[in-house]
Structure 1
């Protein structure tokens, strides 16, 4: 889950001013001879200018986005929640992007080596994409819808503030920082109400479905006693190193902050959504029913896939992939000897008790066992294993209902905080075992955990390549990682193979359903039925998936788009290199320079293939 959401840098200005300043030399009156000029400083190389720009841009970004900085281990502004919603914030983001592109244009790309040219191209692509999203025609459609049930701060911030999330609460200072951040979160919630009121006035609003889900989310959090709130988690697990006086003071302060600041702010949003905004929310669930929605959807597809694709192209690719995968599923049904229709086979996989876990504890142990089995296979496929550890956890009960089947939370770059693979145990009878291996490969290792951790740990990369990314690459790699279960031998069992086909089918159906909802007017019920008709997934999962696509348009189409690109590049490399192809080398080429836009990734792999052929 990577929120899953640019003012000129003060430090950059200071550097520029200092570079331009000159120190006057006092010439002795009694000496008529000219003073010899000091030797000129050597001209800055293209490489040095490029990496200076990267550093200055990153430093400025960390100052504007303190929560991102905390996840990077930068605690200089850890007492701040951040803005993320005001006109000044968006103006600052836009000014930063314009500044960075102007500075980049001053650097001679042809004077850079191949690795630096790659970094140049990624920075240019990403910054242009950011700048496009900040243009008024797009920004005005997004800023007035600051939260949804899938990616809003109302689920993200309580999770990372729980003491078990991404924000540390071990010291007195860290706990006091938390209190200050919480006040910023309360201010953000009030600002979100004002933004949504602007949207009401402009006729740019969320769907009634999304709003009802958000109301339920706030209700679930508000009904928790203060001492059971995620925000109270750091107090429940106070370090033994904190003295009794500080312990008493901080306990009282957290109890007061939650009861008298956070909960009232959350209730204000909840009541506004229920008593005012819901009546204005739109019935039509696709973006096509929102003013400017068609234009925004095409923009979102460009951003998430990094390619200039139309909704219709994506829809047709999805239909083709669904048909292909159904053929593979029919082969499995024949192999296991199931007598009946395809729909009956799906029902058998959904409902037979042999494919169910009896308890949350059993489900957790199942993922532990899968993790150990995968770990034993990884050295045969990867030359570099992340140093960051990986933990396996169920979602917390307060948020599990509206979450996907699994997700990943990145660890700290220095390894001090592990990456976390979250799995969903909500409505346990609806969860089935055939897809467990492929889910772990996607969210854990070698999926998101490898891709994100290896980039973060590579200090030779500029920060924007270590910590940035795009959906098509990030999710495309994770979906490609699922297919490595074939290389690892996990899918020789036909039921396990059916599990991975089901997950591949999910990503193919997303191409059809996301575009169906947002460009063809599909209803929620129509989309759910399509997913149940073409897979063995349970209705609870299918419902959560469809409501996710309604909340965050276009994100879901990037998975298959990215995976198909990586699979095609692997097949191309194998065909052209023959005996020279090494799977470890291919994975290193894909992974070790961070998340690349798909066209830039393809250019990189083509250069690698040519170099290998020439040796």
Structure 2
């Protein structure tokens, strides 16, 4: 079977599909970095214009698409979902643009500071042509960076500047990328992938020279960013971390694709945290004996040599084996996994910041889905009990199945639905749902693996409390310091609830403070996914039918990425 075909009957595209497809190509042209992330070919040699004019062009294109959609009535149920989703997503993009959020984007994890570097992780590198694209894009980093600085400067003139904590984090990251001795760009153009693709011919020598020139240009661009941030933006940056209710409400809607009662969600987060801790304590007793604390159980698991891996080679091999085993066990039993998705590549990332993430397949599946582990230089041992649940989160049935299934639905869905509609609450919520599902299906009956899953759930519940509490300035429980939530209280709260090294916890705290509304989308998204499943089960019972969980998952994932309010309506 061709990877570009679907087993089901092909749906005839509609005018709304045509508008959606055209919008994807317009977005790809105006945002080549996003095109690479989506797997849309033809733009890997370009770089995104991050100037105010570039932002304005993308906003104008979004408005034009909404106008075009308004001229057509839906032809079928698929169109109805597309219209609801595009109006919600594109409408929020315009709200964020009008609020100045896009111009001012700066934080420690998901802003152009990281994006202009991270895109190179997703670029093809197996051919001479691929490295020519890399060289061309590297040499365009300075123009894109100049536009970014221009946007930050304009945003500052309008009173929109990230908190000084985020500016300092960005300075540190940009400084590292600017330094030839530590820069990713230095090692990237001198690595084994280059040697494997380029021979000693004259033409390849030219490509090597362009790669070196591009790496130098990218380093210099980050040097200019460092100077701007340190000398111009930092003095204007506010000390306060809190986003405030108006900004937070907008970002919460964007990341969830749903409107939730923030105070109710905060209270639920406290209740969920207490529930997960109680479940952890029960599992701890199974591991270390009656009355054992979670900390004692963790110590026992960390001391178990059978649960310890040494070195990144062993980590990558274990990731791959765990993923392959899960795919084989789930396919045909709990999920119907399309053939192209039976391959998931597990890799050690070229970066060293500690993140674990997934990148989706290209539109034609020539680039497979990949799970990446970014390992800090100081980390040489890894505990499998902590991370088995992570493989399920990033792989199958988590992001790899979810994202890959959407890409695969070519016969039914337009390219915007398959490639471009990523909603954090839908995507990360599904991944957390998948972790808990694997436990429910018996894949984490081992008490250590189950404690690892609960460890992750505890962190996600804690950050619902922290994120909403700090950004809305809500009262903190007496146990966590009383008074109003702030960064100091949040730090001690995380130390008590996140079983990770302090450097990781500090990075995470800074992430939550600088990216309002994103962190809760995982756990709140899981909650909304579980509510959608329970609603579907109740509806089946009301019809006198037996609820089929496998069929529910199949139907839900075939819809592609959606705002969560749209998902719940579509599943009724």
Structure 2 length-normalised TM: 0.86
Deviating above 6 A after TM superposition, structure 1's stretches of 4 or more consecutive aligned residues are none
- Of residues 244, 252, 256 in structure 1, which corresponds to 2:201? 244
The match for 2:97 is 134
Aligned partners of 2:257 and 2:327: how far apart in 1?
A: 32
How far residue 417 of structure 1 moved from its aligned partner, in angstroms, is: 1.1
Q: 2:495 aligns with which of 513, 519, 532?
A: 532
1:282 and 2:234 are equivalent in the alignment: no
Cα deviation code 1:83-103 (max 9, x no counterpart): 1x2233232222222222222
Q: Among residues 330, 338, 360, which one is paired with 1:378 in the alignment?
A: 330
Q: Does 1:417 align with 2:367?
A: yes
Larger Rg: 1
Secondary structure of 1:392's counterpart equals strand
Structure 1 position 243, deviation (Å): 6.2
Aligned to 1:471: 424
Distance 1:47 1:124, change over 3 A: farther
Bigger mean CA offset, 498-507 vs 596-605? 596-605
State how far apart, in whole Å, the 2-side matches of 1:362 and 1:420 are.
17
**Alignment length, in residue pairs?**
541
Counterpart for residue 150 of structure 1: 109
Distance 1:235 1:453, change over 3 A: same
> Is the 1:158–1:231 contact (alpha carbons within 8 Å) kept by the matching residues of 2?
no
Residues of 2 paired with 1:423 and 1:572: CA distance? 36
Q: Secondary structure at the match of 2:571?
A: helix
Find the counterpart in structure 1 of residue 68 from structure 2: 103
For structure 2, the 5+ residue unaligned runs are 1-11, 474-483
1:227-253 CA-partner distances (Å, limit 9, x unpaired): 972441578524557561112222222
* Residue deviations 1:266-320 (CA, integer Å, cap 9, x gap): 11111222334333333222224xxxxx321110011111222243232112111
Give me the whole-angstrom Cα distance separating, in 1, the residues matched to 2:340 and 2:162: 42
In structure 2, the partner of 1:125 is 88
CA 1:65–1:222: 2 relative to 1, 3 Å: closer
What is the aligned partner in structure 2 of residue 297 from structure 1?
248
Structure 1 residue corresponding to 2:554, chosen from 569, 588, 595: 588
Distance 1:272 1:475 in 2: 34
- Determine helix, strand or coil for the equivalent of 1:407: strand
2:286 alignment counterpart = 335
Corresponding position of 2:55: 90
How many angstroms apart in 1 are the aligned matches of 2:557 and 2:345? 21
Shift of 1:490: 2.2
Structure 1 residue 457 and structure 2 residue 457: aligned? Answer: no
Give the 3 Å change call, closer, same or farther, for CA 296–414 of structure 1 in structure 2. same
1:496 correspondence with 2:459: no
TM-score (normalised: structure 1): 0.81
Equivalent residue number for residue 513 of structure 2: 550
Q: What is the SS of the residue equivalent to 2:26? A: helix
Cα deviation for residue 178 of structure 1 reads 3.0
Query: Which of 437, 445, 461 is the matching residue for 2:388?
Result: 437
Partners of 2:281 and 2:294 within 8 A in 1: no
**Per the alignment, do residues 214 and 488 of structure 1 end up closer, same or farther by CA in structure 2, a change over 3 Å counting?**
same
Q: Structure 2: how far apart are the matches of 1:114 and 1:199?
A: 41
Q: 1:499 to 1:131 in 2, by over 3 A?
A: same
Q: Is 2:175–2:222's contact at 8 Å kept on the other side of the alignment?
A: no
Matched ranges for 1:141-290 at <5 A: 141-143=101-103, 145-161=104-120, 165-225=121-181, 229-233=186-190, 237-238=194-195, 244-259=201-216, 261-288=217-244
User: Are the aligned partners of 1:473 and 1:596 in contact in 2 as well (CA < 8 Å)?
Assistant: yes
- Taking the aligned partners of 1:303 and 1:581, their CA distance within structure 2 comes to 31
The alignment partner of 2:309 has SS state of coil
Within 2, Cα distance between the matches of 1:431 and 1:547? Answer: 24
Once structures 1 and 2 are overlaid, which stretch shifts more, 476-485 or 516-525?
A: 516-525
Partner Cα separation in structure 2 for residue 235 and residue 317 of structure 1:
49
1:415-470 deviation per Cα after TM superposition (whole angstroms, max 9, x unaligned): 21122111243243785432211111111121111111111121121111001221
Deviation at 1:196, TM superposition (A): 2.7
1:412 match: secondary structure:
coil
* 1:493-516 Cα distance to aligned partner (Å, 9 max, x none): 222111111111111112101112
> Per-residue deviation at 1:353?
5.8
Partner of 1:612: none
Q: Hey, what's the Cα distance between the residues in 1 that align with 2:131 and 2:571?
A: 47
CA distance in 2, matches of 1:236, 1:49: 43
Could you say what the CA RMSD is over the residues aligned between the two structures, in angstroms?
2.8
Could you tell me how far apart the structure 1 residues matched to 2:287 and 2:198 are? 58
Segment drifting more, 275-284 vs 450-459: 275-284
| Contact kept in structure 2, 1:392 and 1:421, CA below 8 Å | yes
Instruction: Provide the rounded CA distance (Å) in 1 between the counterparts of 2:185 and 2:225.
Output: 21
Per the alignment, in what secondary structure is the counterpart of residue 422 of structure 1? strand
Distance 2:212 2:500 in 1: 42
Please point out which of 437, 449, 455 is paired with 1:484.
437
Report 1 or 2 for greater relative contact order, CA contacts < 8 Å, sequence distance ≥ 6.
2
SS of match in other structure, 1:268: helix
Alignment match, 1:7: none
Q: 1:358 aligns with which of 300, 306, 310?
A: 310
How much does 1:350 deviate? Answer: 8.2
Q: Matched residues in 1 for 2:536 and 2:117: separation?
A: 45
Aligned residue for 1:395? 349
Structure 1 Cα separation of the partners of residues 339 and 459 of structure 2 = 28
**Alpha-carbon distance, 1:333 to partner:** 2.4
1:346–1:536 CA contact under 8 A, matched in 2? no
User: Which stretch has the larger CA shift, 367-376 or 331-340?
Assistant: 331-340
SS at 1:287 equivalent: coil
1:541 aligns with 2:504: yes
